[in-house]
A = this chain, B = another copy of it.
Amino acid sequence: MASQKVPQATAERLPLYYRTLQRLVAIGKTRISSSEFGSIVQIDSTTIRKDFSYFGALGRKGYGYDTQRLMEFLKKILYQDELSKVILIGAGHLGTALLNHNFQKNNNTKIVRAYDVDPSKVGKEISGTEVHPMNELVTDDNSDITAAILTVPSAHAQEAAEMAIASGIHGFLNFSPTRLVLPADVYVRHVDMTVELQALIYFLNHSMEERKSE
């Protein structure tokens, strides 16, 4: 699969495309043009055509794209045709919200276990997912686990990540503000809500100032 030359920016848009196509298929739309699709996802139609072109000719000139076919193609590309199992570390406020949500809706990903140090949380079941004691993490066989969701306090994020790596995990979705220092073959994505909120406030205030001085 010609995956090496897919730009990062393109790859990061694919999940949005996939989800949007799922919705379009669900409401019975069988074809769509890049410009109509673009207005739905709010991305320029040229960008969308370029993105799809990295995977070959997926559309038909004069017609557009077959939603079902495109959706199924993206499903494969995104490995959504097989179940991805993930674990969650830190069953606190945010962790519990994620366990309740569990990404199941049209999304072939499942949080199969949670871990926590707090004895009052260990043994509980949150929305069908068991909370295990943290010390079991290192001994558990996590070779079939794709990634770990990190929702521990930031002071413990580094050690928790290291324990997960010891058990065979190579990917993290880190919700804590800590920038983890990890081996090069480990891939981390950050979801940093405080950064997002501050960036929002920055852009709001600065665009207001611009408007005032116009």
Contact = CB atoms under 8 A, between A and B. Distances in A.
Most buried by B among A86, A177, A210: A177
Contacts of A209: 1, 3
B97 A202 contact: no
B191 A107 contact: no
Contact of A200 (B16, B97, B171): B171
Contact of A198 (B18, B187, B200): B18
Contact of A103 (B14, B94, B100, B197): B197
A25 to B, nearest CB: 16
Contact of A191 (B146, B185, B187, B193): B193
Interface string A181-207: 100010101011111111111111111
Contacts of A192: 15-16
Given A94-B101, A98-B193, A207 B187 contact: yes
Interface stretch (A72-80, A116-124, A133-141): A72-80
How many subunits of this chain does the assembly comprise? Answer: 2
A210 B15 contact: no
Interface residues on A, range: 35 or more
B96 A179 contact: no
A166 interface: no
A143 to B, nearest CB: 13
Interface of A: 1, 3-4, 6, 11-12, 14-16, 18-19, 40-42, 77-80, 84, 86, 93-94, 96-98, 100-101, 103, 107, 109, 146-147, 149, 170-173, 177, 179, 181, 185, 187, 189, 191-207, 209-211
